[in-house]
Amino acid sequence: MSAQRRTATKSRTAPRTREVDNAAPVAVAPARPAAPRPPKPAASERSAEPKSGAAQRIDDLKESLQETIAEIKKVNWPDRETTRNLTIVVIGMTVALGLLLGGIDFVLQTLYTSIR
């Protein structure tokens, strides 16, 4: 195997090439495995007639609720100590920002009344 071909096969970013007799190398797209197709639903799973508007809405609501519950179970909830520490940070930042904005407001109000 030549040095050029060896480096091309080791590097994933380098384009793959194919040599054709005495011609210049030709770029070849990397082969991708075909994704398996999901099986078609059985005849019993396919509904013969569509559901009415209300029944369809109820089914959609049930499905949405089940998906929401599944997503909530995936959440990595923080422990009690982390929650407490973050709450303290939020309260501290709120107080600090309130004092800063209150101080700016007081200074501007004092300047406004002294100019008038």
Q: What is the rounded distance in angstroms from the CA atom of residue 79 to the CA atom of residue 91?
A: 19
Is 18 in a helix, a strand, or coil? strand
**DSSP structure class, residue 76:** -
Q: In tens digits, what is the pLDDT along the chain, a chain of 116 residues? A: 555 555 555 555 555 555 555 666 666 666 666 777 777 766 655 555 667 788 889 999 999 999 999 999 999 989 999 999 999 999 999 999 999 999 999 999 999 999 88
Calculate the dihedral angle through the C-alpha atoms of 88, 93, 94, 96, rounding to the nearest 10 degrees: 120
Q: What is the H or E stretch that residue 27 is in?
A: strand 26-28
- The pLDDT value recorded for residue 98 is 98
Per-state percent for the chain, helix, strand, coil, to nearest 5: 55, 5, 40
- The pLDDT value recorded for residue 53 is 83
